[in-house]
Structure formats: C-alpha cells, structure tokens
Amino acid sequence: MKDKLEDLRRLLGEIFDLERARDLLEWDQSTYMPPGAAPERALQLATLSKLSHQKLISGELSSLLEDARQVTASMNPDSDDARLVQRLTRKLEKLRKVPAEWVEEKARAVSLSKQAWEKARKEDDFPHFEPHLTKMVGLIRQYTEFFPSSDHYYDPLLDDYESGMQTNHIRTVFAELLPEQVNLIREIGEREPIDASLLYQPFAERKQWDFGLEVIRKIGFDFQRGRQDISAHPYTTHFGIGDVRITTRIHPNYFGSGFFATLHEVGHALYEQGIRPDLGRTLLAEGASLGIHESQSRLWENLVGRSRAFWTWAYPRLQQIFPQQFGDLKLETFYRAINKVEPSPIRVEADEATYNLHIMLRFELELTLLDGSLQVADLPEAWNGKMQEYLGVTPPDDATGVLQDIHWSEGLIGYFPTYALGNLFACQLWQLIKADIPALEAQIERGEFGALRGWLDENLYQHGAKFLPMELVERVTGGGLSAEPYLAYLRSKFGQIYGLV
C-alpha cells in the first residue's frame, strides 16, 4: 500500500515540476526576457498552467488520493504523508466546488479588467474601471456562494490565501488594532516631524547593490541555493528548495528603496530555503500561508532591519561605502530617518506605524462591496472618507487613491488582510525569540544572526506548509493571533523615537 503513496508523490512531483517551470518563465519575464517575447511567453505560461491544472483535477490524481487517504488514515496524523494528503484534500475539495465555466469567465474578466485598471490609473479615470470592478465583485460574490456552509461569506476568500482563517477572527483583532493605531499616529503627528531628506541623495547603484548582497550574505541567505536579480517589482520566487530567488529594484537617488526591498525579500527567501529537504517537490514545499510568509519578510525588513541594534552593526559599514552622504552623520539621525512616520495615501510607501491602517481600510471596503451595502460607483468617496478617518489624509486623485493597487483588478479579494497578519505575527514571534535568546540584541549589534535564524528554522521554516497557518501560530506561540505584541512594539519603538509619554 505504501506504493500508492509513491504513485501519488510521483504525480504530485510532475505537477510541481510544471508549476515551477511556469514560475521560472515568470521570473525570466520579469528579469531578463527581451520585450519581443511577450506574446509567445503569454501562451507558454497559459499552456503550463493549463497542463498542471489538468493533472491536479484529473481522475488519476483523485483516485491516487483516495487510496492514499486510506493508507494514511492509520498513520500519525502529524506525519509528513498524512499532512500532505490532508493539504491536497483541502485543496481539491475547494477546487471541485468551483465550476470550470466560472474559472474561464473569471480569467477572461481579469484579462480585460487589468487592462482597464492600467488605463484608469494612468489617466486617473475611475469610471473607466468601474464596470470591470462591478463585474469582478459580482464574480467574487458568486465564488463565495459556491461555499454555502461558510460561517462568513468572506471566509472562502480569505481561506484561499490563509487556509482555515476566519473572518470574524480578523475583525476582532482589527477592531482592537484600529483605535490604537489611529491614536498613535495622531500623537506622532503632534510631534516635530523627522527630516528624512538625507535618504534622498544620489547613491551609486552598484554600491547599493553590493551593500545589500553583503548584508544578506551575513544574514545567511544561501547563494549556493539562490540569487538576486533586478526587476520592476521586487519579489521572491522558488523553483525548489535548492533554488530560491529574490529580486530588488534600486533607486539611484533614494537609499530606502533597494536595501529594504532586498531585506524584505530575503525574509521570504530564508523561509523557502529553510524548508526541510524531504518535503521537496510536494505541495508542502512552500510557506504555510501568505500571512506567515509576510511575517518573515516583515521580521527581517522591520524588526531586524529598522532596529537600532542592526544599524549599530551595519551603519559604520554603510558610512564607509557612502562617506560623502553618511560620513558625518550620526547613527541616531540615520536611525530616525529610516523610521520616520508620516501618513501618506500610498500603501506600498507606508511606514511601520501606518501600514496596517491601509489594510484595514481595504478589508472594510471589501466586506461592504461584497455584502452589497457599498456600490462600486460610490467606492472612491468611501475610500477617501476612510483615508481621512484612519490616516487623516485625502488622496489628491483616484490614481493615488482607490486605483493604486492592482489586486482588485485581478480579482484578488481576501488577499490584503494577509499583509496585516504578517505584521502582527512577526511581533508575536519577536516577543518569543527575545525571551528564548536574551542576547539577541547584543548579537544583532555584532552582526550575528545565527541564533535568530536557527530559532526560525527550528520553529517555523523547516515545516514548510505542513501545518495550517493558525495551527502553526498555536504550535509556536501556544496561543492564537494577537494584536498586543504588535501594539506594544509600536508604542515602545515610536514612543522612544518621537518622545511620546
């Protein structure tokens, strides 16, 4: 009977190979592909996606899974085999509830909607996008109806990115978060603003690139099993545990862009590189969820990368590399500049203290769009109202307001909350790590990251997607998702920086 599991793994291996090949085509598209290849590349991506999907929903896989379920029924439910079967079962049960006609209709709608969104954003013309978004909201509402037994209509959406997560759980946590974060940035707003202009100077691109590589090498990114390249939108991808690639973009006149993008992506990459090799080539060989993944990018970008301890180590080196820009500048001045808090309309440029507010705004709007209490036509007004309410700013136009993100045009509804979950979970972990490694700060001040990485490998990375995200949170923290460590972190850090009481 063990052979049945082997057969299942063989077929899953083929699906995995097709998906990773598609990912490599996408990586190439965003890094080195010549522009003339675009039309043919689109067809190639479509073919690979289609073939892997065909295998995934095939009768062959279905029957192998049925056999495997019998084999694993008598196993330790926490064994790799049992967990693999469990994850595959969840995935297929969900896929089977969605009619092929809906999938096709949505694919067509996405293709048109993305084009319309691009044009609308470029020309600051929300009405041009409106009918497409209305169509998309309708399709997504239909999707939620394929899962009538959900506690909340938003649950199946959330579950696509954060398996098993409950909408009501998120609402509770966000409700705790919102007044505190709004309050914090109001208090900060009353203090003297930080001058961050020192980050906006010419910085030789090659030197920025080299500094980033030097730091991530020290942090432990394994260049034998990964690499960094340049792309318009930084991201992390992997073609196996032995091949995890990050991309960054470097701004010649702003230090903050490239370096922190590299740190963010390396957080994702350490997670992928840390997965146990024997989970390889299965659907356990990836992060547990988007939120857990984001906790790692945020942990390395912010909790490590924007800490005073980190720059105590890294700043002298940075001064060596950019003596003109930083030679005479105190560590504290630099530290304050990279931690400047300033409410602004754009999510991807938001600082640590305001970021989640952008997410909560989108989450609330998604809920009201789906339950029909908000019409798409009224969305810009609702957007701007909430921006004022949460962040105290009003976008100058829709292009920098409701049209700023690509997500909705692609039908990605239920996705945004995972960014906030990442921030919260990162701080929960950080509290535990500090308790387990009392010397953590002193180590970081010396550029020593081995113990930190070891902790994350042991408690998080090695498991890949073996556990559901909330199971993993429970295993690691002994409790559920909590806003408190995050709020405590913000209060402490920015209280100190801005001299709050």
Q: Which of 138, 202, 242, 480 binds a second copy (CB under 8 A)?
A: 242
Residue 175 exposed, middle or buried by CB count within 10 Å (0-12, 13-18, 19+)? exposed
Query: CB-wise, 51 or 393, nearer to a second copy?
Result: 51
The identity of residue 487, as a single letter, is L
Q: Which of 9, 25, 319, 471 binds a second copy (CB under 8 A)?
A: 25
Considering the complex, what minimum distance in angstroms separates the CB of residue 243 from a second copy?
A: 3
Q: Which of 281, 362, 463, 466 binds a second copy (CB under 8 A)?
A: 281
- Please give the size of the binding site for a second copy, defined by CB under 8 A: 40
Task: Kindly identify the residues of this chain, within the stretch 32-61, that bind a second copy according to CB under 8 A.
Answer: 32-41, 43-44, 47-48, 50-51
Considering the complex, what minimum distance in angstroms separates the CB of residue 31 from a second copy?
A: 9
Q: CA 221, CA 215: separation in Å to the nearest integer?
A: 9
Annotation marks residue 101 as catalytic: no
Considering the complex, what minimum distance in angstroms separates the CB of residue 478 from a second copy?
A: 35
Helix (H, G, I), strand (E, B) or coil at 76: coil
The one segment of 25-33, 82-90, 107-115, 251-259 that binds a second copy by CB under 8 A: 25-33
Query: CB-wise, 164 or 220, nearer to a second copy?
Result: 220
Q: Beta-carbon neighbour count of residue 213 at 10 Å?
A: 16
Q: Which of 19, 265, 272, 294 is catalytic?
A: 265
Q: Which of 164, 189, 220, 240 binds a second copy (CB under 8 A)?
A: 240
Q: Which of 294, 235, 269 is nearest to 422 (CA)?
A: 294
**Which helix (H) or strand (E) is 53 found in, with range?**
helix 38-56
Query: CB-wise, 30 or 44, nearer to a second copy?
Result: 44
Considering the complex, what minimum distance in angstroms separates the CB of residue 433 from a second copy?
A: 27
Q: How many CA atoms, within 13 angstroms, populate the side-chain half-sphere of residue 296? A: 27
**Which helix (H) or strand (E) is 228 found in, with range?**
strand 226-230
Q: CA 352, CA 489: separation in Å to the nearest integer?
A: 10
Query: CB-wise, 80 or 352, nearer to a second copy?
Result: 80
Helix (H, G, I), strand (E, B) or coil at 297: helix
Q: CA 355, CA 486: separation in Å to the nearest integer?
A: 12
Considering the complex, what minimum distance in angstroms separates the CB of residue 465 from a second copy?
A: 17
Q: CA 278, CA 160: separation in Å to the nearest integer?
A: 25
Beta bridge partners of 332: none
- Phi/psi region, residue 437 (left: phi>0; alpha: psi -120 to 50; beta: rest), is beta
Q: Which of 131, 164, 189, 280 binds a second copy (CB under 8 A)?
A: 280
Beta bridge partners of 245: 227, 237
Considering the complex, what minimum distance in angstroms separates the CB of residue 150 from a second copy?
A: 36
As given in the structure block, the two tokens for residue 175 are: 């409700």
**Residue 389 binds a second copy, judged by CB under 8 A:** no
**Can you count the helices (H) and strands (E) in the chain?**
21, 3
Q: CA 20, CA 243: separation in Å to the nearest integer?
A: 10
**Residue 213 binds a second copy, judged by CB under 8 A:** no
Considering the complex, what minimum distance in angstroms separates the CB of residue 234 from a second copy?
A: 17
Task: Kindly identify the residues of this chain, within the stretch 214-233, that bind a second copy according to CB under 8 A.
Answer: 222-227, 229
The one segment of 29-37, 68-76, 302-310, 421-429 that binds a second copy by CB under 8 A: 29-37
Active site residues: 265
Residues that bind a second copy (CB under 8 A): 13-14, 17-18, 20-22, 24-25, 28, 32-41, 43-44, 47-48, 50-51, 222-227, 229, 239-243, 280-281
